Amino acid sequence: MTTNRTKYANLQGIIPALITPYGADGKISDPVTRQLVRHLIAQGASGFYLSGSTGEGFMQTIEERQYLLEIVMDEVKKEVPVIAHVGAMDTDTAVRLTRHAHDTGATAVSAVTPFYYKHGSEQIKRHYIDIAEAADIPLIAYHFPDMTGSKQSADFYRELSRVEGIIGLKFTSTNVYEMQQIMDVCGEDFLVFNGPDEICLAGLTMGAVGAIGSTYNIMPAKFAELYKLFRQGKIAEARAIQYEVNRVIHELLKYDFIAFEREILRLQGIDTGVPRKPIQQLTDAQRADIYETAKRFSFLNVQ
């Protein structure tokens, strides 16, 4: 019997939530996107997650989100899986992006729950079903209550897990007990991906098949090694790496995380430009402080 775990066995490991590179003109940069993708694959990335929170998807037009996916798909040429985040405040936009992702050859789509307006669980469930029915492409739901204000129960996800085409969940919360409860009611064939980078090992230990995260843009090799050690049962060694990366994350939290990561990438030789306003625009003094901080961590490989 074919299960989701066997059918989608490539959807595992360390999957960066890709930073969207911009040029000096503020438009998506084709060459830098390709540079970043190749760099991350060489450093052990198992796939990519596009146009989510880290990728500033909600600050881009539909056409820009489609363009980014087309660049990445052309660059990876199915070397690794690509998940297109199609989340939007309205169902029609999510459906349109889903159909494009299918036509472009993406491995899967994902969608955060609609936000700002206070929707009931049945409305959100219908939203997900509409996305799942829009095209023949697997859907990974997205649980991110701190950003969306939508906190769905384990039973809600149990119902979603029974919908054809909905294969898993990106769980972005540090409440690993809640993660376990969702896994328990949905069954092991429902693929759960850890979201918060600072508890990557905890999520894997709880049963996540992989991790989709933001700081995998700036320290992918560290997280790839953590995942490898976990799979080998070397928990103490994996925990030591989690402590290392968390020291960087502790410094990151002094800034907007997107601004911090873009600056680290620039210092690593990959200039992804500045984030779109109103995301924090770093001052020269802040850039200097980030450089001094980054030099303390040799694995960040700043130049």
The answer to the question of whether 62 is labelled as a binding residue is no
In tens, the pLDDT along 273-295 reads: 999 999 999 999 999 999 999 99
- Tokens standing for residue 112: 């955060």
Which positions are catalytic? Answer: 142, 170
User: Would you state the CATH architecture of domain 4-233?
Assistant: Alpha-Beta Barrel (3.20)
Three-class SS of residue 135? coil
Nearest alpha-carbon partner for 74 in 108, 33, 113: 33
Q: Using 50, 70 and 90 to split pLDDT, how confident is the model at 303?
A: confident
Q: Each residue of 171-184: pLDDT tens digit?
A: 999 999 999 999 99
CA distances from 291 to 101, 252, 303 (A): 37, 12, 9
The per-residue pLDDT for range 97-143, each reduced to its tens digit, is: 999 999 999 999 999 999 899 999 999 999 999 999 999 999 999 99
Give DSSP secondary structure letters for 28-63.
Answer: B-HHHHHHHHHHHHHTT---EEESSTTTTGGGS-HH
Q: Which of 3-7, 24-28, 133-137 has the lowest mean pLDDT?
A: 3-7
pTM beyond 0.95, yes or no: yes
20 is in an annotated binding site: no
Q: How many C-beta neighbours within 10 Å does residue 147 have?
A: 13
> What residue ranges do the domains of the chain occupy?
4-233
